[in-house]
A and B are shown apart, each in its own frame.
Chain A
């Protein structure tokens, strides 16, 4: 194992995760005002109407696929009745739907961001970097799903990449598993760590604000300016 491998498959993940966690804590505590989706729907609606749902729903599907394929051990998936073949069929079919949606959405949004002047001026440097890294990660992911797993007969990442990934969280990173993985999988992993490190400092933080509490709360919210709610005077 070379020093380079140690950096890529051990150091980078831990640095990235540390930045990810600490960055979020810092941002959440110090920048509530900046914590927003930074929507540009007000400025342009017709392209966004297609691109944005495609991208987001495709991304949800892709995240779900990563949970099933990477986060949950293959043995566990098998034990709930999803055989190796069934998993492969699901991952290739659902994966294809997901990547088509994601890339179509991303291309529409990218076109919109570059070609619509009023959207373009809202783009910050952090946005450019985020979109760039996101695009590379997604393109590599598509190469894996479409190029390697569908056209070239596949690579069993559940026995290598997934084990290494889970090992990071149990502080047993199986570096050798990653060293032998195909280059595309290696690149996908490395760029993904950069994305995670970027996450807390970018607009991606809005992902943690999916307003699920909305489903259960009262319609009209009242707030009192004083702790003795409802009473203006001390009780």
Chain B
């Protein structure tokens, strides 16, 4: 056993209002640059829908993630390394930018400069790729709140084996928001796909990053990720992805998407896991066992022997203490109400979701004697079909979804009793396998959700940070500030050009996008260690 710590996230879909604040703040911080216009490290999708990029979940088509060979060995779904090298010049599984969307801006200047005329001047859309006027036919949130989903949503892969009748009625029946970031997987297929070895998982906190200096633009990570959360910057020629806001995490702060979430749906904390058993867990035969296998990797920080081993493996004491207070550990492992997104991709993702309750479709109380608090009946009749959720969050295992929804519904019944009735019905909590205390703790975590309970992030250690500074030579975003030698001459790099958060250079119309700005997607680090088997 070798214990590592992983920073992880849980999102409570019950509370997501689909406001896109997370997406917008993330974009302003990370992808507000030339070549990154189309990238959304965080996006919020309305389900049912095909999402961003189009039909990303259809990995029969895109070939992201892992599969098991007939002999039970874990293989990249897109094929082995020799095949990857042979298709280096034209990656057969790469989505084009039209699968994301063609980014555009508007000719705003016309609004103020247009000569006097009978009609209002109109700001026309211009492509940020070609600088030409364009028709907008698809965008990053085209399906927002089911807009246009009569056209597209039938192609949502999560529909498979959902009853036809339900499917046809979905527009009246349900929708659910799905905010998505990089999953920072325990078994990341993007890392395994990278021919240059530029992608890596940080030993300390498990954050998956792209070393911007080592990336050679072979694009295999983009197709290798089954969540399509690695993007190709067509200006710099390098891959970029969600960094889990590592500069903030190292400082003990939550990611910007979590910090600014108005619904307070996000939880960030540590989990301790056994790094030696990752491959084994990802290789269980039945996809429905992947959830159990992944949960079995997580170790209980309340267990003194686990803490001792973690200490021996180099996890600092305050990190171990933080793992004990981790809301992610509580929701994903202790209460078992959070689930991984598409576990069947076998990447062991580390952003988990509490599935949403939804209104009961047909009034359960219609029949005489039916109990409105009967959570077992209610779960079966919710607007969001159990199978739809299980295809998304449980590799098609309906029982997993039912168990979670029952716990969430039972928690409401229990708390209604506590707050408004004559005390909680003592039978409710045990009926879903919990004690009343556990139920009330879970309620506090999910409903009250104070800042310090939602985000338990121990800062990186000062002695570590000091060494990082020594390696890095200062601000991580500064060092790639210069356009590289092949670019057309950019304005002389001013101080602000060094910072990604600073000015956007060359922002006139038609859009000029030939400026390569830097991206701090990965610190240049000195020690490269490899584990895992060689295929």
Contact = CB atoms under 8 A, between A and B. Distances in A.
A172 interface: no
Interface of A: 27, 31-45, 48-50, 52-53, 55-57, 117-118, 120-122, 124-127, 201-203, 206, 209-227, 229-234
A194 to B, nearest CB: 17
A222 B400 CA distance: 32
B484 A31 contact: yes
Interface in B504-535: 513-514, 516, 518, 523, 525-535
Contacts of B127: 118
Contact of A234 (B194, B202, B463, B523): B463
Nearest to B127: A118
Contact of B192 (A122, A127, A206, A220): A220
B371 interface: no
Contacts of B82: 215
A32 B213 contact: yes
A111 to B, nearest CB: 16
20 contacts: A33-B213, A33-B238, A33-B480, A39-B237, A49-B90, A121-B131, A206-B217, A210-B85, A211-B85, A211-B216, A218-B532, A218-B534, A219-B192, A219-B534, A220-B278, A221-B201, A225-B204, A225-B471, A225-B523, A233-B314
A221 B199 contact: yes
Q: Is the interface of B mostly helix, strand, loop or mixed?
A: loop
A224 B487 contact: no
A223 B200 contact: yes
A223 B486 contact: no
Given A48-B90, A222-B202, A42 B97 contact: yes
Nearest to B217: A36
Given A43-B96, A218-B531, 4 more contacts: A211-B218, A220-B532, A222-B530, A225-B467
Nearest to B460: A225
Contacts of B216: 35-37, 206, 209, 211
Contact of A227 (B96, B523, B527): B527
A220 B535 CA distance: 11
Contacts of B84: 214
B96 A32 contact: no
Contacts of A48: 90
Given A38-B217, A215-B81, A220-B532, A33 B212 contact: yes
A43 B97 CA distance: 6
A72 B378 CA distance: 80
Contacts of B97: 42-43, 118
A42 B94 contact: yes
Contacts of A233: 314, 316, 461, 463
Contacts of A232: 204, 314-316, 319, 461, 464
